[in-house]
């Protein structure tokens, strides 16, 4: 009987060891934390707007010059393959801590079409490739196409993401005609892309911010 009582006392401890192990630990995988929020606009009383730029395959010196000369803070969501082609270009844009780099996955897939393991691989592998280049792991994720589900959010949490960022307005010129310029409001998130029209699109966004009495601000300071 004493042996059975001793075993009964040990079972909870054994269970705790199993759960705390490398495969069962909820804390190790972030499962104990809430899912990261999805942010398309930042609620703030500050008169600020947030500029974000995606992808990175076309690297225009003119656009870089605007950001550098006017000291415009932006959040970049580059693909690791584009960064590998010209890391100096992106390092210049993030110099002086005015701007930061977020996660945009490795292959730009439609994440909800993938299973949990594949989503996690896309997000975590992008983190691991960007962190050595920029000196820190990205804390924000821009899901490609803005598409996401709860599996995406759970995968992002396990990869250290604190928030998924979509957008309020897309200023990218996707056709021969630039899109209509909306009236910007405080807290809006503007989407841009590294395309041949980035310099012009960026200028339109900055003009729209000025007309609305808004100042570009670092997104990472407001999304924590």
Concatenate the DSSP letters of all residues of 67-136 into one string: HHHTT--EEEEE-HHHHHH-HHHHHHHTGGGSSEE-B--SS---GGGS-HHHHHHHHHHHHHHHHHHHSS
Strand spans (E) along 63-118: 74-78, 100-101
Q: What are phi and psi of 55, to 5 degrees?
A: 80, -95
CA–CA separation, 15 and 2 (whole Å) = 21
Q: Is the pLDDT of residue 26 over 80?
A: no
Mean pLDDT of the region 43-59: 97
Query: Which of the four pLDDT bands, split at 50, 70 and 90, describes residue 30?
Result: low
How many C-beta atoms lie closer than 10 Å to residue 142's C-beta?
26
Give pLDDT, residue 32: 74
Mean pLDDT of all residues in the chain? 88
At 68-97, the pLDDT tens digits run: 999 999 999 999 999 999 999 999 999 866
Looking at the predicted structure, is the pLDDT value of residue 113 above 90? Answer: yes
With a cut of 70, say whether residue 39 has pLDDT above it.
yes
pLDDT at site 31: 60
């Amino acid at each position: 009987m004493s042996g059975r009582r001793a075993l009964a006392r040990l079972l909870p401890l054994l269970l705790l060891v199993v759960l705390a192990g490398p495969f069962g630990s909820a804390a190790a995988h972030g499962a104990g934390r809430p899912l990261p929020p999805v942010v398309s606009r930042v609620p703030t009383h500050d008169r600020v707007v947030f500029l974000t730029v995606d992808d990175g395959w076309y690297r225009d010196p003119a656009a870089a010059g605007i950001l550098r000369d006017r000291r415009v803070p932006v959040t970049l969501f580059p693909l690791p393959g584009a960064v590998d082609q010209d890391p100096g270009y992106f390092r210049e844009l993030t110099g002086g801590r005015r701007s930061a780099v977020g996660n945009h996955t490795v292959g730009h897939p439609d994440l909800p079409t993938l299973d949990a393991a594949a989503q996690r691989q896309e997000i975590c592998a992008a983190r691991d490739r960007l962190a050595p280049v920029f000196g820190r792991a990205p804390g924000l994720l821009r899901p490609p196409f803005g598409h996401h589900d709860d599996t995406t959010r759970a995968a992002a949490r396990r990869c250290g993401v604190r928030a998924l960022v979509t957008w309020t307005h897309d200023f990218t010129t996707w056709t021969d005609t630039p899109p209509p310029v909306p009236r910007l409001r405080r807290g809006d998130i503007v989407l841009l892309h590294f395309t041949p029209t980035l310099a012009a699109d960026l200028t339109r966004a900055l003009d729209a911010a000025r007309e609305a009495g808004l100042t570009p601000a670092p997104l990472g300071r407001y999304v924590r």
